[in-house]
């Protein structure tokens, strides 16, 4: 990669106090993972620029926090409308920066944020902002200035699930998006300004996690930090924030188990399970990366998976027919390929795919979508978050064994169960995770999402997602 090219156009790096700021810090190049080309660059925020963003958020807080929830709801709905109007531009930017197929970018990378914003506004309408408890008036009030750090895999959706509830609660925000997928945050800032959001309520600073993210977590005038990313990075954020005892919300890694019960419709289980394992090329904290199947049905399920996998062509992300594009970066490609090689070396049965690049994709961050069976539940590919299109099929003996395997990782973000309704619900209640999909239930953007164990703390979306950004005050009289 040539870091001295002068023909590249800078992306407007920061958004501070209602205006775009190019920035004065070191250049960070933005790379198209489909071919390795450099498409532009941003500037890493300097300490002074970060202070300016925090100061703008502080200055905007008194007036914004004094607005009524209904006024804030109106602006958030206008933001949703603005994202919808610019959906094609947003989808194209996300596809260029992180490689999601354009059809998926339209449907999920942009469609989900629009739906999430509208759902958050609806939740705010029914939220209890104050209540009488005995002789006390209990109030829910904004925390103050929220620092938000978001990842590259769903750059706009992860932004929305933090920023919108925070602003609905009357907080102001300083956001650090992923440096490898920065455009969505800038476009969101433009949309928000056009929707009537006052200057300073939402600010963006670009940069890397170890530099700008760490500085945001440590900043003495940031009242809360909300982070989505890896469990390893989440530990660092929590440690950095501890010096000022600010509130910390963490949405971290996952290793979701999809338990297929003996009576399940296997065709349905395979189609849905594979879709949720390989969606966004498996780059999702909630990907159904472990499929747990009864021992006597494993071979039948494997054959169905082999056939279903042929329906997932790898292709260029701008091709409308592509279902799996490149991973988000060359570093991510190498990491995922390393896990595939580890699975082979550890003795798992290779059902589909395998190490190396797909045929015809000698350049770009492409891996072969892969399925393993006969996987040891204690092996690396069954325990560690791979974050790529790798599905592990793990046989189990009975219900207790399935639950033991499902709960047997450090993660506890989400899971799925397919089978007879009563049976599936009984299993779902035993799983130590924050969200369970039973028989393909329709996604609910007003339901809380977040993890147990090392998948983090706190919740996003719904009433719980708003409450995450509120303090509680009791006035007794």
Instruction: Evaluate whether residue 2 is within a structural domain.
Output: no
Judged against a pLDDT cut of 70, whether residue 10 lies above it is answered with no
Instruction: Confirm whether pTM is higher than 0.85.
Output: yes
Together in a domain, 182 and 324: no
Together in a domain, 186 and 68: yes
Judged against a pLDDT cut of 50, whether residue 1 lies above it is answered with no
Tell me the per-residue pLDDT of 358-414, one tens digit each, with 9 for 90 and over.
Answer: 999 999 999 999 999 999 999 999 999 999 999 999 999 999 999 999 999 999 999
Q: Say what the pLDDT of residue 3 is.
A: 41
Q: Is 29 a catalytic residue?
A: no
Instruction: Evaluate whether residue 166 is within a structural domain.
Output: yes
Together in a domain, 39 and 99: yes
Residue 414: give its domain's CATH number.
Answer: 3.40.309.10
Instruction: Evaluate whether residue 29 is within a structural domain.
Output: yes
Which residues constitute the domain of residue 330?
257-445
Together in a domain, 439 and 311: yes
Instruction: Evaluate whether residue 409 is within a structural domain.
Output: yes
Instruction: Evaluate whether residue 228 is within a structural domain.
Output: yes
Q: Which of 44, 49, 179, 285 is catalytic?
A: 285
Together in a domain, 248 and 322: no
Mean pLDDT of 289-300: 98
Tell me the per-residue pLDDT of 326-341, one tens digit each, with 9 for 90 and over.
Answer: 999 999 999 999 999 9
Q: Say what the pLDDT of residue 13 is.
A: 83
Q: Say what the pLDDT of residue 397 is.
A: 98
Together in a domain, 399 and 435: yes
Residues 6+ apart with CB under 8 A from 231: 252, 253, 385, 410, 411, 454, 455, 456
Give me the number of domains the chain comprises. 2
Together in a domain, 193 and 216: yes
Q: What is the mean pLDDT of the chain?
A: 96
Residue 156: give its domain's CATH number.
Answer: 3.40.605.10
**Please, which contacts does 211-216 make with residues 24 or more away whose CB atoms are closer than 8 Å?**
211/44, 212/44, 212/45, 212/50, 212/176, 213/149, 213/176, 213/237, 214/240, 215/47, 215/50, 216/50, 216/147, 216/149, 216/174, 216/176
Together in a domain, 301 and 422: yes
Together in a domain, 102 and 197: yes
Q: Which of 44, 49, 97, 251 is catalytic?
A: 251
Q: Say what the pLDDT of residue 156 is.
A: 98
Instruction: Evaluate whether residue 3 is within a structural domain.
Output: no
Together in a domain, 219 and 321: no
Together in a domain, 234 and 299: no
Q: Is 251 a catalytic residue?
A: yes
Residues 6+ apart with CB under 8 A from 432: 407, 412, 452, 453
Q: How far apart are CA 24 and CA 17, in angstroms?
A: 17
Together in a domain, 300 and 202: no
Judged against a pLDDT cut of 90, whether residue 5 lies above it is answered with no
Cβ atoms of 364 and 334 within 8 Å: the answer is no
């Amino acid at each position: 990669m040539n870091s001295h090219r002068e023909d590249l156009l800078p992306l407007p790096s920061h958004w501070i106090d209602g205006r775009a700021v190019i920035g004065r810090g070191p250049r960070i190049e933005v790379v198209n993972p489909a071919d390795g080309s450099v498409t532009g660059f941003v500037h890493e925020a300097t300490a002074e620029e970060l202070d300016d963003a925090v100061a703008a958020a502080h200055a905007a807080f008194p007036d914004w926090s004094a607005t009524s929830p209904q006024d804030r709801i109106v602006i958030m709905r206008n933001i949703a409308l603005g994202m919808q109007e610019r959906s094609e531009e947003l989808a194209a930017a996300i596809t260029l920066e992180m490689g999601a197929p354009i059809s998926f970018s339209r449907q999920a990378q942009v469609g989900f944020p629009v739906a999430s914003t509208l759902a958050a506004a609806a939740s705010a309408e029914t939220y209890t902002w104050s209540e009488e408890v005995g002789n006390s008036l209990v109030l829910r009030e904004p925390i103050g200035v929220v620092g938000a750090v978001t990842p590259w895999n769903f750059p706009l959706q992860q932004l929305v699930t933090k920023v919108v509830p925070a602003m609905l609660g009357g907080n102001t925000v300083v956001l650090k998006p992923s440096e490898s997928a920065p455009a969505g945050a800038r476009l969101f800032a433009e949309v928000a300004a056009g929707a009537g959001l006052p200057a300073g309520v939402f600010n963006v600073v670009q940069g890397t996690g170890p530099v700008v993210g760490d500085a945001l977590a440590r900043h003495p005038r940031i009242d809360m930090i909300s982070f989505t990313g890896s469990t390893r990075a989440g530990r660092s954020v929590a440690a950095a924030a501890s010096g000022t005892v600010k509130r910390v919300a963490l949405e971290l890694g996952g290793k979701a188990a999809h338990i297929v019960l003996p009576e399940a419709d296997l065709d349905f289980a395979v189609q849905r399970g594979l879709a949720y394992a390989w969606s966004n090329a498996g780059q999702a904290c909630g990907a159904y990366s472990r499929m747990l199947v009864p021992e006597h049905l494993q071979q039948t399920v494997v054959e169905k998976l082999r056939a279903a996998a042929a329906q997932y062509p790898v292709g260029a992300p701008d091709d409308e027919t592509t279902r799996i594009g490149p991973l988000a970066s060359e570093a991510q490609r190498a990491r995922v390929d390393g896990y595939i090689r580890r699975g082979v070396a550890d003795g798992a049965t290779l059902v589909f795919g395998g190490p190396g690049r797909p045929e015809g994709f000698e350049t770009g961050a492409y891996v072969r979508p892969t399925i393993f069976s006969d996987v040891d539940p204690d092996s690396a590919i069954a325990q560690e978050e791979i974050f790529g299109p790798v599905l592990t099929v793990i046989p189990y003996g009975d219900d207790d064994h399935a639950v033991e395997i499902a709960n047997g990782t450090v993660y506890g973000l989400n899971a799925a169960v397919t089978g007879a309704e009563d049976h599936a619900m009984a299993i779902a209640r035993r799983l130590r995770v924050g969200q369970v999909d039973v028989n393909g239930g329709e996604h609910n953007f007003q339901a809380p999402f977040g993890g147990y164990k090392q998948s983090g703390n706190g919740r996003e979306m719904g009433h719980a997602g708003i409450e995450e950004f509120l303090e509680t005050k009791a006035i007794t009289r």
